[in-house]
Chains A and B, each alone.
Chain A
């Protein structure tokens, strides 16, 4: 991977019940993620995805770009913006901003419906 290269895009459409499965897997049962009625009561359009789930998609796209070994992901820093929702496609894309000595830094973004849900994500990858 060289400076300026794009990493392969990852496209994922979380299904209606994904937030429930992620809640169980992660232990985060905040009702804004799993209860549409509760979410509406607190002013959200519907139940929203866990930010850390979206971060996991960013991690997944970067590990895939590095060849699939989970040990290649050394660091990941993200800012959560807006909110992700189930049943709508998420696209994770990235550009190599530094490369050298078996190590690259990838600027990554996750978008849904034309809006960024994760921005300024920076992944540091160790390449074999």
Chain B
């Protein structure tokens, strides 16, 4: 089945995520980081953060609610049984802290086919409650046997 590029450029509604201190701690423990700025408010403030800081890769947590509808979209038409996550890029802006409300929008950047595989590239942009950009993501999904 050739990859259908008709959904290229499609964008999805913004998803809002409110960042919680304990969720940051849970994520930081799972990835094995122990810097106290991820756990303790006083440490975080002493280091210049507004509140407990999120590790950079916490982006996957607040972006997930925006990415899932894009990746599962019928018009995009990804065959999940053959899906692999091929690549990922994040470009970080303002740090994310507990109490922030992060809004993420996703769009289909490109769909093309190379060597019998479908390449589905999604772009995301996340901003905080002050309108400052916190992360831009590029999510490359590869569908084998497209």
Contacts and interface: CB of A to CB of B under 8 A. Distances in A.
A70 to B, nearest CB: 6
Contact of A80 (B38, B60, B85, B90): B85
A51 B86 CA distance: 9
B30 A25 contact: yes
Contacts of B61: 25-27
A63 B88 contact: no
Contact-residue size bin, chain B (C-beta under 8 Å from the other chain): 20 to 34
B26 interface: yes
B31 A60 contact: yes
B77 interface: no
Contact-residue size bin, chain A (C-beta under 8 Å from the other chain): 20 to 34
Interface in A52-102: 52-53, 55-57, 59-60, 63, 68-71, 73-80
Contacts of A68: 35
A75 B91 contact: yes
A26 B60 contact: yes
B27 A26 contact: yes
Interface residues of chain B: helix, strand, loop or mixed (majority): mixed
Most chain B CB atoms below 10 A, which of A25, A71, A77: A25
A10 B38 CA distance: 20
B89 interface: yes
Interface string B65-96: 00000000000000001001111111110010
Nearest to A26: B60
A18 interface: yes
Contacts of B38: 70
Interface of B: 23, 26-27, 29-33, 35, 37-38, 47, 53, 55-57, 60-61, 64, 81, 84-92, 95, 138
Interface of A: 12, 18, 21-22, 24-28, 42, 51-53, 55-57, 59-60, 63, 68-71, 73-80
